[in-house]
Structures are given as structure tokens and as C-alpha cells.
Homo-oligomer: A and B are copies of this chain.
Amino acid sequence: MAGNTFGTLFKVMTFGESHGVAIGGVLDGCPAGINLDLEAIQSDLDRRKPGQSAIVTQRKEPDSVEFYSGIFEGKTTGTPIGFAIHNTNQKSHDYSHIKDSYRPSHADYVYDQKYGFRDYRGGGRSSARETASRVVAGAIAKQFLKDIKINAYVSQVGNLSLTTSYKDLDFSLIESNAVRCPDPEMALKMENYIKEIRKEGDTIGGIITCVVQNVPIGLGEPAFDKLHAELGKAMLSINAVKGFEYGSGFEGVKMKGSAHNDQFNPDGTTKTNHSGGVQGGISNGMDIYFNIAFKPVATVIQGYETIDKEGNMVATQGKGRHDPCVVPRAVPIVEAMTALVLADYTLLNRTIKL
């Protein structure tokens, strides 16, 4: 329970630091007999990888995944799937600016306090590089889920907010631009804004919206393990996330019950969907949708003062090639975590009734 496992039945354990030999994981509990499309897995990794466009970090890493077990003649065997992504971009950097001092709003300080020391080459285990392993596991979960459709997209960058309802968007446009916003006009504005921010040597936050469609009724548990609670945890476990809301979310607190209640149609669907597809912690068959808030990346290419291990103030400066805005690359991570949660509950739901 040192926190590197996710899921109960469809369960992944990940390992790896940003500057170690490799990152990877083991996916246990994936049912036998799934025809795995390995290219689809690599494709999701490519959507996450650095260097893919002008608005993300220009670090080059192929992030190609090797599978070690659990797949035979193209199919999952029901046994654990071991995989690794070797780190290829770990040249002997100069780490002196971070080895003995603590970058603000990074985990450097708490790691030293918690563990007694840390792997100071980059973010170590707290690097977002860890999420590549999640993307691999999530891409397998997507293939298991099959008919359930998961689409995430960028809906806000700084103050630029896409207010169109997801129902009026064409999800096929998400991958048509570097920002991963399905509204091409807004996407262009966001892209230009991010470029501007980068020129300033600064960073900016954003929001990702995720929509899940064709969800069967009955996924989720009544008390602690409500479907949206597990989705919330999954999203909040992604680096830089500061908030999660589903359905009517924070705006819903201003509504009266008479307006908020989702009235039924005769077939059990509802006329509105303020509930966001989850009722009492259990999916009701309507679309599940939620928003995830990402803070601005902590590494800014500007000079600043910070403290060293002895508590002395030292002047330093961000270095290296960093993302000016994290949300474009985080879209496949959000999808992956969503898929992992739904895969777990899909298996669990098989055990509920006599």
C-alpha cells in the first residue's frame, strides 16, 4: 500500500523514476481472450509523449513499450501483463541547481523530509513520466471495455474557456489540433496563447473535460466506492490536478432541487442529466461527464529565489525543456485513468447478483 497500485480486480502496479533505467508496470486481472491491438496502445503513448508538437516540451523520447508476458498469439492470457518503457533521454545532465536546493511547488522538499533522501535527477517518482505506464494499462482497459466510448478534450486554457456543451461538439476534431480542443477556432486561440506564455518563460493551467458514453447501468458501489468517487480519485492522482467535478458540479450548488432533479422518460433514461450519469454512486446509463482542473506547471524558465538543504536562500533558474501548459499531453492520461476505473467496475459488477 505504498500507493503504486490502482484497481482491485483490473489492477495495475507501476514503477519507475524519470531518470532511472526504465519505467513500466504490471497489469493483473485483465480477462483472458482479448485480441490486443498493440498499435493502438503505442498510439495512445504517442499522444502523451514529449516533442509531439510546438506547444509541448521539446524533449525527445520515443516512449516505446515492450511487453514481457501475459500475451500469447495476439491474445491476453488472463495472466499478468508485464511491460517496460526504457528511458533513453537520461544524459549526464548537470543537476547541481536542484540537487541541494528545493524547487518551489515541486515535491523535492517533501521527498527529502519523507524518505530521508531522494533521486534528485529530475522529479524522480513524482515526475509526470510515471503516467506513461498508466497510458499503457489504460489503453488495454479501453480494448477490454470495447463499446464504452471515452473522449477527453481540453475545454479551458487560462481564461480561454470552451462553453459549448459536449453534446454540440464533434469529438473527431479533438486530434485535429495540437491543443486537443474539438472547437477549431478556440483551439487556435488556445494554441497562440500557450505559445505566448512559453515566450514569457512562464506556464498556464487548464481544464480537461471527459465524456463517457454507452455506459451500462449498474457500475459502481453504494457507500465508499461510488463510481464518481473512484473517478475523482483517479483524476486527482494525475500530476498537477487541483479539482474534479462531475455532472452539475460546483455550479449545481446554486440550483434548487426542483430544477436539478433529472425527470425520467418512460424508458428509464432522463430528460436532463445534471446527475452526470451517476446516481447514488452507480451508473444509470446516461453519459458520464466530468471536469478536471490542472494547475500551471511549476517549472518556469525565469530566475527565482529558493532555499537549499540548509535553509539558505539561493538564486536559481528553471532549466531544460518543459511544458508551458500540461493539458494537451494530459488528455490521453485522463482517458487511461477513466478506462482503468470502468474496467475495474465492469469486472466487479459480474459478481453482484446471484
Contact with B along A211-238 (1 / 0, CB 8 A): 0000001101111111011101110110
B248 near A242 with CB under 8 A, answer yes
B68 near A3 with CB under 8 A, answer no
B110 near A218 with CB under 8 A, answer yes
Contacts of A276 in B (CB 8 A): 242
Which of the segments A17-25, A44-52, A171-179, A182-190 contacts the partner chain? A17-25
B2 near A11 with CB under 8 A, answer yes
Most buried by B among A20, A222, A353: A222
Q: Which of A291-340 contact B (CB under 8 A)?
A: 291, 293-300, 302, 304-307, 311-313
Which of the segments A57-65, A79-87, A162-170 contacts the partner chain? A79-87
Nearest B residue to A260 by beta-carbon distance?
Answer: B296
B252 near A250 with CB under 8 A, answer no
Contacts of A110 in B (CB 8 A): 217-218, 279-280, 282-284
B226 near A298 with CB under 8 A, answer no
Contacts of A106 in B (CB 8 A): 279-280
Nearest B residue to A83 by beta-carbon distance?
Answer: B15
Contacts of A21 in B (CB 8 A): 66-69
Contacts of A91 in B (CB 8 A): none
Whether A26 sits at the interface, judged by CB under 8 Å, is yes
Chain copies in complex: 4
A57: shortest Cβ distance to chain B, in Å? 14
Nearest B residue to A31 by beta-carbon distance?
Answer: B354
Contact with B along A226-265 (1 / 0, CB 8 A): 1011101110110100111111111011111110111111
B253 near A293 with CB under 8 A, answer yes
Contacts of A13 in B (CB 8 A): 5, 13, 26, 28, 80
Whether A205 sits at the interface, judged by CB under 8 Å, is yes
Contacts of A33 in B (CB 8 A): 115-117, 353-354
A2 near B6 with CB under 8 A, answer no
Q: Which of A108-154 contact B (CB under 8 A)?
A: 109-111, 113-119, 123-126, 130, 144
B351 near A126 with CB under 8 A, answer no
A34 near B354 with CB under 8 A, answer yes
A345–B277 CA distance with the chains assembled, in angstroms: 31
Contacts of A226 in B (CB 8 A): 3, 236-237
Whether A202 sits at the interface, judged by CB under 8 Å, is yes
A293: shortest Cβ distance to chain B, in Å? 5
B105 near A275 with CB under 8 A, answer yes
Contacts of A229 in B (CB 8 A): 232-234, 236-237
Contacts of A267 in B (CB 8 A): 311
**Can you list the 3 inter-chain pairs with the closest CB atoms, starting with the nearest?**
A107-B280, A3-B221, A3-B225
Q: Can you list 10 residue pairs at the A/B interface with Cβ under 8 Å? A: A1-B8, A31-B352, A31-B354, A33-B115, A79-B119, A106-B279, A123-B280, A197-B256, A263-B304, A266-B312
